[in-house]
Every structure is written in structure tokens, then in C-alpha cells.
Amino acid sequence: MSAAAQMEAELTRTLQACGVIPVVVLEDVSVAVDLAHALQRGGLATIELTLRTPDAEQAIRNLAAVPDLLVGAGTVTTVDQVDLAVAAGARFLVTPGWSDQVVERSRQHGMPIYPGIATATELQHALESGLRAVKVFPASALGGPATLRAYASTYPDMRFIPTGGISEAELVDYLAVPSVLAVGGSWLTPADALASHDWAAITAAASRAAAVAGARDLKDAR
Ligand code: 3PG
């Protein structure tokens, strides 16, 4: 196994063990580390920091320096953003939709990537491109766990990170799908809690999610 493949396999194991990926839109970079600590106190040690705000690159740099935190870059839509996220210290990349150029560039960096797919055609393309795990976006609008089960039965070797419109209450249903590697969502870090520095609320949400993910039976997981 190549070093890149080994890194990807290890990352996949980490994401599966975590089960939940907080998707963060951070307006105020100065709270990045406080936010990370709030999530860690709740038992979640992964963050997908989206490249949707002006200081997202600096936020990734700050988060990359936090011990025992796995930080990825989300909403990666261009090759320049791949370069930027890698330079900032992201350990994985997530995209909302498929882009051959973005996938290729991340491979040139040896950087694991979870591109977003929404259709069986895109899933097929991902498979043919050598990927074994993708983000499914927007999971809720696409039909939720039922759609994932349908994809899983036709593409048993593919694993999914559903994201988009998922609520805390639905987490358990998504995690019950054996092909789901982890569930992504912004419900853990709502804008109002970030703006008011309500770390206790974020820790509480993280700890409830970590408990649900921790109770998942991984024996059937693919
Ligand atoms: C994403 O980038 O994956 C989504 O915006 C997250 O979806 P959510 O905000 O509906 O959880």
C-alpha cells in the first residue's frame, strides 16, 4: 500500500470511529481554538472548516495546531483552494459537488478527499475514479437514509458521509446505515452559539452526538 493510500485508510478509520463531523462556518477566526476545545470537551475531535468565510484559511491554520484535533477543509470548489487548504494544514478535503480538477489536484498532494455526489451517475464516476468514500450532499433533500440504503445496495464498496439538512434527531437513523462512515452537519455549531460564544451549548450538543455515535454498532459497517 502506498503512503497516500495508507494515510487515507487511517483517516477513514478515524472518521468512522468518530462518526460525526461538525461542519463549521466560522465568521470570527479568533474563536477557532475555543470552538475546537468546546467540541473536544464533548467528545468530538474532528472539524470540517468550510472555506466560506474570509478568514477560513487562518482558521484552518489555528485549528491545525490544536493537539488531538483532526481538521479538514470543506466547501473546496477550486484547485487553488486545494493548494490553500493543504498549505494551511488541513488533513482531508470535502467538496460539495464533483470536480475532476479538484480531485486530481488533491491526489497530486496525496491529500484524502471526499467529493460530494448527489446521483448514481456521480457515484459511478467516483468509483471509476478510484474513490471508496464520498460525501452525499444534500443528503436530507435527496431522501435521507432511504436513499443511502438504495445507493449502498447497488454500490456495496462505496462509503458515505451524508451532509446537508441533517438534524440532531436524525443522526441515529443515518448512522444505522452500515455504509455510512460518518455524518456531517452544522447543527453542532449554530451561528448564534458561535456569535454568543456559547461553548457550553456546543459542548452539550457534541456530547449528545458523541453518545449516539459511540452507541453505533460497527460490526456491520463496511
Ligand atoms: C455542508 O457544507 O456540508 C453543508 O452546508 C452542511 O449542511 P448543514 O448546514 O445543512 O448541516
Please report the atom of ligand 1 found closest to the CA of residue 52. 2
Q: Work out the pLDDT band at 2, boundaries 50, 70, 90.
A: confident
Compute the average pLDDT of residues 40-55. 97
Distance 47 CA to ligand 1 centre (A): 13
Q: Could you tell me which residues come within 8 angstroms of residue 45 by beta carbon, excluding any fewer than 6 positions away?
A: 18, 39, 68, 69, 70
Residue 105 sits at the vertex; the CA angle it makes with 102 and 110, to the nearest 5 degrees, is 125
Strand pairing category for 183-185 and 20-24: parallel
Maximum Cα interatomic distance, the chain, rounded to a whole number of Å: 46
pLDDT at 16 over 80: yes
pLDDT at 110 over 80: yes
State the pTM of this model.
Answer: 0.95
Distance 186 CA to ligand 1 centre (A): 6
Q: What is the pLDDT of residue 220?
A: 65
Compute the average pLDDT of residues 33-50. 98
- Mean pLDDT for the chain? 95
pLDDT at 117 over 80: yes
Q: What is the pLDDT of residue 39?
A: 98
Compute the average pLDDT of residues 56-83. 98
Q: What is the pLDDT of residue 115?
A: 98
